[in-house]
Structure 1
Amino acid sequence: MKIDGNVASKALLEIDKNIDKLVKQIELLSYVNPINIEEEKARFFSSKYLTDPVFKYPTINFDKFKLHRQLFTQSLESIEDEEIRNLYEDIIYAYSGLIQCIETIGNGKKFYYNCLHCFGTPTENDVENAKFILHFEDDNREVTSFQPKYSAKDAEVFFRTFSEAYDFDYRIDYSDKISAIAMVLNNIKTLVLNTNHTYSDNEIAVLTNHEIGVHMVTTMNGLLHPLKIFSHGFPNNEETQEGLAVFSEYMSNNLTITRLKELAYRVIAVDTLAKGYPFSRTFRLLHNQYDLDRETAFYITLRAHRGGGFTKDYLYLTGLKKVYDYYQSGKDLSLLLTGKVSLEYANEIQSLIEKGYAVPSKHITDSYTENKNTNKKVDFILRSLK
């Protein structure tokens, strides 16, 4: 269906284009990763885990107040379609919240409270789900698949080979200043690999399905619509996007108990923020009480405490459960691959496609075509989560 060329449609496309220009400057992950992780890790370990790290962050290169003002001066009243107008109101409030997050990075409680507004915090149910997962023993898989083997440069070859199944191109960059071992930067169509990490076969299998199979797929699909919101992101899209990405690990038979426990530890770490734990106390909880090795405990703690308290990490588990239930109910996953979209806006996405403002997904996550999971214990856990 073609877009109606009336004044209201032109107004919507103009507003959408304006917002797109503004939010291209807001890539939260570009700002929230400390630039001195390795130095502070060494200092923290030498202090016997007592002295909290003091992280430094990249300089913000945009005028925060001006960006807020430009967002809120969009003439949404010129969008006649009420459903679409409400969606764009939600979008403007969501992006204003992200700007507030970015402008308070490194500012302790202020950043944490802004994150609560954007991402929320684990409920009692979420924490119970995490503890339920932690009761299970790690997988008895071939230990060799978990052994570190590949440098970031070696890993690039695997990502390139995996990507041959998809009809798109993207850049691969390297960084020693990210807390994840790999991540997709949506606004510049780039996969970033962590040069401080040595990758195992299992991590390569997980990351190719997670980062390329979902995050890069939704990046590329998001660029194909008349409306740019599919590319820069719907409100609360992080939970759905991470849920889809971990679900791709599950469908490709790469979701292990070990990986589920990693997601559970993230929930536990984020929950400590609400309890007022400093970095060192969260670390000691994971390292001493839960017996995580110190490297793993450090990076899980770092992910939660960066910026002053980054709550997003609990959403991987909640998102996985929601996407798993969505799939089990027989609903169409391709609708959620149309871009950086949220499950809660599924009806609006369908409506936008029908009105000609969006198109069905061109690129489909390879693992979604057939459920290859053979791990009955993983299935039991996902069914049992509340």
Structure 2
Amino acid sequence: MSTLTGQRLGPALDIDARLTGLERTVDLLLNLTPVNAAEAWVDFERSDYGSAPTLRLRPLDFDPDLVRRDLYGLEIENVTDPALHALLRSKRDEIARQVTALEDRDTSRFVYGSLQLYGGITRVLAADAEELLRLIPAQVPSGRSVTAGAFAEAARAEFHRYGAQYPGFPVNVQVREDISELMVSFGQLLIPEAAAIRADRVEALLHHEVGTHVVTYQNGARQALKLLTIGLPGYDETQEGLAVLAEYLVGGLDPRRLRVLAARVIAIDQMLHGADFLEIFESLRADHGIPARTAWAIAIRVVVAGGSVKDAIYLRGISRLLDLLAEGVNLDVLFVGKLAVDHIPLIQDLLDRKVLEAPWVRPRWLDVPGAQERLDGIRAGMSVTDLYEGAVPT
């Protein structure tokens, strides 16, 4: 970025940095992750699946009112670049919604905040999910798994592979007892201490978590616009769509995984229509042949905090990416940082004006043997149900 450009965009970049810091303070993802999921599963199993779990969330370590004061004290009106003005204003409002959602945890109001942040279930999305569950036979649970420690070792090796090609690429892996799901938070890969990860999913998960979420974080960290590390407004759907695409291109989007993505949409739809945890859990098992442990994991992610619709973004995200790739959209712009497909024109404009730079790191999953052939197939036109490559029931 030139000195002249930096001076002209100074107010925008200052507000960008302050918004980035405020979202790190709020930490929506971690604050919606149960701290007792492993113990709750043991209790649920002992009850013969008859007693709904009580999920505990960590106390908020920030004052919501102070965060709001800081948010609305930002002088966004001084940003003269129209595109950046709209972007920063939208991001400020998104963080405010996150704060309200976190205040509303474990109340009937929370689901409405989740809908504002992530959107609902369309008829088309629900129909695609139902079709995937109809097409893909119920799967026998995998027998072999790896421990959190073994997965952490594989993850560190993956970080080092990136570091060998891109010196300075940091290794950020933690095994933690206070989380229940594998996640990337601000560039750090967090692994639940109690995790038992399917051995045949390890490679796909590394490309999902490190090759997508960490790579886009690190690319964003080298941009003038620091919001590209934490995500532009509504980035989640595109980010998870990219991560699922990575799984597909490396041959790791197997039938079990596709069934899980579809079942998440169905579970959310049921929750929005009034189903409780036990009803969702039993429906996943009885109606769709989802194994008990998997049905549990899907259901708790849906009912957490009072009802979360976040998990619909995986299937919706990959569906939208399939359409865009068929239209000829170039993936490279999506690696600049964490952004939504709706931001592509803005990001391209900022690239053209040298406000942003081309991505530092290229994801390894683009160069895995067979990836280009799969990508060519997508560009020729594919629907989300075409991602299933097995036998189709007659």
Q: TM-score under structure 2 normalisation?
A: 0.89
Cα distance between partner residues in 2 of 1:342 and 1:292: 31
C-alpha distance after superposition, 1:140-176 (max 9, x if no partner): 9xx99x4323211112222223333312122211124
Going from structure 1 to structure 2, the CA distance change for 1:200 and 1:21 (only over 3 Å counts) comes to closer
Q: Deviations over 1:54-98 (max 9, x none)?
A: 211101001101101211121111111112111111111111111
Partners of 2:3 and 2:256 in 1: CA distance: 48
What is the rounded CA distance, in whole Å, between the counterparts of 2:59 and 2:126 in structure 1?
34
Cα deviation digits, residues 233-263 of structure 1 (max 9, x gap): 1111110000000000111111112211110
Q: Write the distance in 2 (CA, Å) between the matches of 1:367 and 1:278.
A: 38
Contact kept in structure 2, 1:179 and 1:299, CA below 8 Å: no
**Does the C-alpha gap of structure 1 residues 5 and 329 become closer, same or farther in structure 2, counting only changes over 3 Å?**
closer
Q: How does 1:193-212 map to 2 (within 5 A)?
A: 193-212=191-210
1:289 paired residue number: 287
Q: Could you tell me how far apart the structure 2 residues matched to 1:204 and 1:342 are? A: 27
Contact 1:136 1:257 in 2 (8 A): no
What amino acid does structure 2 have at the position aligned with 1:172? V
CA distance in 1, matches of 2:301, 2:330: 32
Shift of 1:131: 0.5
Q: Does the C-alpha gap of structure 1 residues 331 and 312 become closer, same or farther in structure 2, counting only changes over 3 Å?
A: same
Moved more, 162-171 or 278-287: 162-171
Residue equivalent to 2:299:
301
Q: Which residue of 2 aligns with 1:148?
A: 144
The answer for the alignment partner of 1:175 in structure 2 is 176
- Mapped contact 1:98–1:118 kept (Cα < 8 A): yes
Residues 277 and 232 of structure 1, relative CA distance in 2, 3 Å threshold: same
Q: Does 1:125 align with 2:124?
A: yes
Q: CA deviation at 1:340?
A: 1.3
Q: What is the DSSP-based 3-state SS (H/G/I as helix, E as strand, rest coil) of the residue aligned with 2:183?
A: strand
Structure 1: any 5+ residue segments left out of the alignment?
none
Alignment CA distance shift 1:224-1:50 (3 Å): same
Asked whether the equivalents of residues 159 and 208 of structure 1 are also in contact (C-alpha less than 8 Å), the reply is yes
Would the alpha carbon gap of residues 201 and 191 (structure 1) be closer, same or farther in structure 2, given more than 3 Å must change? same
| Alignment partners' CA distance in 2, 1:223 and 1:198 | 31
Does structure 1 conserve the Cα–Cα contact (< 8 Å) formed by 2:216 and 2:336?
Answer: yes
Name the CA shift for 1:243/1:6 in 2 (closer, same or farther; >3 Å). Answer: closer
Alignment of 1:346-385 (within 5 A): 346-369=344-367, 370-371=371-372, 373=374, 381-382=383-384
* More off after superposition, 235-244 vs 76-85: 76-85
Q: Distance in 1 between matches of 2:382 and 2:341?
A: 23
Q: Conserved in 2, the CA contact under 8 Å of 1:183 and 1:191? A: yes
Equivalent residues of 1:3, 1:355 under 8 A apart: no
Q: Equivalent residues in 2 for 1:1-386 (5 A)?
A: 1-4=1-4, 8-107=8-107, 109-138=108-137, 146-166=142-162, 167=166, 168-180=169-181, 182-186=182-186, 189-369=187-367, 370-371=371-372, 373=374, 381-382=383-384
SS where residue 286 of structure 1 aligns?
helix
Tell me the distance in 1 between the aligned counterparts of 2:34 and 2:336: 31
Paired residues in the alignment total 376
Task: Indicate the RMSD between aligned Cα atoms, in angstroms.
Answer: 2.4
Sequence identity, in percent?
A: 26
Q: For 1:272 and 1:51, how far apart are their aligned partners in 2?
A: 19
